[in-house]
Amino acid sequence: MISILVPTYNEEKYLPNLLDSIEKQTYKNYEIIVADANSKDKTRRIAKKYGCKVVKGGLTAVGRNNGAKAAKGDILLFLDADMQLPDEFFLARALHEFKRLDLGALACWYTPKENKYIYKLYWIVAHTIRLVLQFFKPYGAAAIMTTKKMHFRVGGFIEKPALMEEHIYARNISKIKKVRLLPWIRVRVSMRRFKSEGLFSIIKKYLMLEIYELLKKEPTYKDFDYKFGKF
- Give the side-chain half-sphere CA count within 13 A for 230: 6
pLDDT digits over 168-219, tens only?
A: 899 999 999 999 999 999 999 998 776 666 666 766 766 666 666 655 566 6
CATH 3.90.550.10 for domain 2-191, yes or no, is: yes
Q: Where are the domains of the chain?
A: 2-191
* Measured CA distances, 102 to 36, 105, 146, 190 (Å): 32, 9, 11, 30
Q: Which residue has the higher pLDDT, 227 or 8?
A: 8
Q: What residues are paired with 53 via a beta bridge?
A: 33
At residue 219, the pLDDT reads 60
Backbone angles phi, psi at 67, to 5 degrees: -65, -40
- Note the pLDDT of residue 220: 60
In sequence order, what are the residues at sequence separation of 6 or more whose Cβ sits closer than 8 angstroms to the Cβ of residue 170? 105, 107, 138, 139, 140, 141, 144, 179
For residue 35, the Cα-to-chain-centroid distance in whole angstroms is 13
d(CA 100, CA 157) in angstroms, rounded, equals 25
Contact 9/228 with Cβ under 8 angstroms?
A: yes
Query: Using CA atoms, how far apart are residues 34 and 107, in angstroms rounded to an integer?
Result: 20
Q: What is the pLDDT of residues 110-135, one digit of tens each?
A: 999 988 888 888 888 888 888 888 88
12-34 burial, b if ≥16 CB within 10 A, otherwise e? bebbbbbbebbeebebeebbbbb
Does position 229 have pLDDT exceeding 80, yes or no? Answer: no
